[in-house]
Amino acid sequence: MTGTLWVAIAVLGIGAALFVYRAILGVQTYFGYRGKRLVTCPETHKAEAVDIAAGNAAADAFLSEPTLRLKQCSRWPERQDCGQECLQQIEADPENCLVWNIVSQWYEGKKCVICHKAIGKLHHLDHAPGLLSPDHKTVEWRELRPEQLPEVFATHRPVCWDCHVTEMFRRLYPELVVDREPEPKRIRY
């Protein structure tokens, strides 16, 4: 009887360990594949923004092997029936496709072209830095559609959030802004 009990405990223990192991794989898969990504569409050869069905991939990983499918693409709904061949790009390098990582890498080491302050590392809760267009208009990078970013990065220059807000105010309310020439410090008696 005691022997049977030990066997039962051992089987239950192995089952529980296996369950926890598969659950960890599922959670890792979910966090590994969530988030907006940029791919080069095999049909158009242009950048498109996609989301992986991370929940389904996590459930697959829990049961056996994760299968990647798209949940959203910037070409949908028109091309919703495509073969999703872009998934190969994500499978090959899931981290480098993430929009957040692409944007972080672009701003890395760059300075604001207006005030010359270092932009610094991107943080999710911080104000987003901006981009200065060739016609001197600023925009926050988050306001752009992700699939626009590769083209925008090629033509725009980095600006910090403070300068973006100042430039936006200047553009929206030019009558409230007075541009003063820099003047030497006045001496007070």
> What residues between 160 and 189 interact with Zn ion by CB under 5 A?
160, 163
Q: Measured between alpha carbons, how far is 50 from 70 in angstroms, rounded to an integer?
A: 7
Using CB under 5 A, which of the segments 91-99, 115-123, 133-141, 172-180 binds Zn ion? Answer: 115-123
What would the two tokens of residue 53 be?
Answer: 């069905």
Q: Measured between alpha carbons, how far is 165 from 140 in angstroms, rounded to an integer?
A: 9
Q: What x-and-dash track marks residues 46-85 binding Zn ion by CB under 5 A?
A: ----------------------------------------
Q: What x-and-dash track marks residues 131-160 binding Zn ion by CB under 5 A?
A: -----------------------------x
Q: Is 115 in the site for Zn ion (CB under 5 A)?
A: yes
Among 97, 98, 99, 114, binds Zn ion (CB under 5 A): 114
Residues 26 and 44 sit within 8 Å (Cβ to Cβ): no
CA nearest neighbour of 152 among 99, 109, 114: 99
Q: Measured between alpha carbons, how far is 136 from 157 in angstroms, rounded to an integer?
A: 10
First vs last Cα of the chain: how many Å apart?
101
82 C-beta neighbours (distance < 10 Å), count? 15
Using CB under 5 A, which of the segments 80-88, 93-101, 113-121, 177-185 binds Zn ion? Answer: 113-121
Among 39, 103, 112, 149, binds Zn ion (CB under 5 A): 112
Give me the residues that bind Zn ion (CB under 5 A), please: 112, 114-115, 160, 163
